[in-house]
Amino acid sequence: MKYAIVINTNDAETVWNALRFGSAALARDHRVSIFLLGPAVEMDSIGDERFNVKKLLQRYEELGGEALSCGTCLRIRSMDASSVCPTSSMDELVRLTEEADRTVVFG
């Protein structure tokens, strides 16, 4: 199965749970793409002792997951994309959801 996960928050626990879901799906041999929208593009700066987002993002990437950042959302925040979550577009989000068997939204 192919999952498209849309994250639209920078809430540490919600992002952590989205990455847990994505990693669990990858571990079960599913294909997963994450699209960061709105405040979720700030994922690299989320720091919380209880919800280690950076560690889970690294695991997600090691399992072969793809993560993309909304270019417009990055520009609004005067941010650059990270190497883990490169810049993307709404057209790409449309493509991801068209190709997915299931779309899951967090936030």
* pLDDT of 8 above 90: yes
> In the chain, how long is the greatest CA-to-CA distance?
37
Q: Which domains does the chain have, with CATH numbers?
A: 2-106 (3.40.1260.10)
Read off the tokens for 76: 């609004």
Name the β-bridge partners of 33.
4, 66
Summarised one tens digit per residue, pLDDT across range 77-107 is 999 888 778 999 999 999 999 999 999 999 9
Candidates 46, 28, 30; CA nearest to 84 is 46
Give the C-alpha separation, 77 to 38, whole Å: 9
* Residue located via tokens 């899951």: 104
Summarised one tens digit per residue, pLDDT across range 30-73 is 999 999 999 999 998 888 889 999 999 999 999 999 999 999 99
What predicted TM-score, i.e. pTM, was given to this entire model? 0.94
